[in-house]
Amino acid sequence: RADDGYRLWLKYNLIADAAQRKDYQKAAQFVAVSGQSATLKVAAEELQTGLQGLLGQSVPMLSDAKGKKGGIILQVDAAAADKAGLGPDGYRIYSDKQNLIISGRRDVAVLYGAFALLRQLTTRRTLNNLNISSAPKIQHRLLNHWDNPNGTVERGYAGSSIWKWYELPETIDPRYRDYARANASIGINGTVINNVNASARYLTAEYLQKVAALAGVLRPYGIRVYLSVFWAAPKVIGGLPTSDPLDPRVKQWWTSKTDEVYKAIPDFGGFLVKANSEGEPGPQDYGRTHADGANMLAAALGNHDGLVMWRAFVYKADPKGDRFKAASEEFLPLDGKFAPKVLVQVKNGPIDFQAREPFHPLFGAMPRTPLVLEVQLTQEYLGFATHAVYLAPLIKEVLDADTYAKGQGSTVARVIDGSVDKHSVSGMAGVANIGSDRNWTGHLIGQANWYAYGRLAWDYALTSKAIAEEWTRQTLTTEPQAVQTVAGLMQQTRSIYVRYTTPLGLHHIMGESIHYGPQPWLERSARPDWTSIYYHRADSVGLGFDRTARGSNALALYKPEVQKMWGNAQTIAPDYLLWFHHVPWQQRLSTGRTLWDELCQRYYTGADSVLWLQRQWAAVQPQVDPVLHADVAARLLTQHKEALWWRDACVLYFQTYSRRPIPAPFAPPQ
Q: Helix, strand, or coil here: 429?
A: strand
Backbone angles phi, psi at 212, to 5 degrees: -65, -35
- Between 411 and 532, whose beta carbon lies closer to ligand GCW? 532
Question: What is the three-state SS of 127-146?
Answer: CCCCEEEECCCCCEEEEECC
- Between 413 and 429, whose beta carbon lies closer to ligand GCW? 429
CA distances from 271 to 101, 264, 298, 323 (A): 37, 15, 9, 26
- Between 313 and 390, whose beta carbon lies closer to ligand GCW? 313
Catalytic residue among 96, 167, 278, 400: 278
Q: How far is the CB of 270 from ligand GCW (least distance, A)?
A: 18
Integer Cα distance of 302 and 612 in angstroms: 56
Residues forming contacts to ligand GCW in the complex (CB under 6 A) are 146, 154-155, 196-197, 274, 278, 313, 352-353, 380
- Between 352 and 546, whose beta carbon lies closer to ligand GCW? 352
Q: Helix, strand, or coil here: 475?
A: helix
What is the dihedral sign for C-alpha 95, 97, 99, 104? negative
Q: Residue 299: which H helix or E strand, with range?
A: helix 290-301
Catalytic residue among 89, 292, 330, 352: 352
Q: Which residues contact 402 (CB under 8 A, 6 or more apart)?
A: 408, 409, 410, 411, 561, 562
Closest CA to 147 of 371, 378, 307: 378
Residue 171 corresponds to which amino acid? T
Q: How far is the CB of 318 from ligand GCW (least distance, A)?
A: 18
- Between 274 and 559, whose beta carbon lies closer to ligand GCW? 274
**DSSP E strands, 121-242:** 131-134, 140-144, 190-192, 224-229
Backbone angles phi, psi at 645, to 5 degrees: -60, -50
Q: How far is the CB of 297 from ligand GCW (least distance, A)?
A: 18
In the 8-state DSSP scheme, what is residue 536? H
- Between 376 and 495, whose beta carbon lies closer to ligand GCW? 376
Q: How far is the CB of 381 from ligand GCW (least distance, A)?
A: 8
Backbone angles phi, psi at 579, to 5 degrees: -65, -30
C-beta of residue 625 within 8 angstroms of C-beta of residue 476:
yes
Tell me the CB-side half-sphere exposure of residue 321, using CA atoms within 13 A: 15
- Between 179 and 313, whose beta carbon lies closer to ligand GCW? 313
Q: How far is the CB of 352 from ligand GCW (least distance, A)?
A: 4
Q: How far is the CB of 451 from ligand GCW (least distance, A)?
A: 22
- Between 195 and 426, whose beta carbon lies closer to ligand GCW? 195
Backbone angles phi, psi at 221, to 5 degrees: -90, 10
Instruction: Tell me, yes or no, if 206 is annotated catalytic.
Output: no
Q: How far is CA 469 from the centre of its chain?
A: 18
C-beta of residue 361 within 8 angstroms of C-beta of residue 389:
no
Catalytic residue among 3, 292, 374, 380: 380
- Between 109 and 326, whose beta carbon lies closer to ligand GCW? 326
Q: Which residue is nearest to ligand GCW (CB)?
A: 352
* CA-based R_g, the chain, Å: 26
Q: How far is the CB of 431 from ligand GCW (least distance, A)?
A: 7
Q: CB count, 10 Å around CB of 555?
A: 23
Q: How far is the CB of 147 from ligand GCW (least distance, A)?
A: 11
Closest CA to 226 of 263, 192, 183: 192
Instruction: Tell me, yes or no, if 352 is annotated catalytic.
Output: yes
Instruction: Tell me, yes or no, if 546 is annotated catalytic.
Output: no
Q: Helix, strand, or coil here: 233?
A: helix
C-beta of residue 548 within 8 angstroms of C-beta of residue 580:
yes
Q: How far is the CB of 585 from ligand GCW (least distance, A)?
A: 31
Residues annotated as catalytic are 278, 352, 380
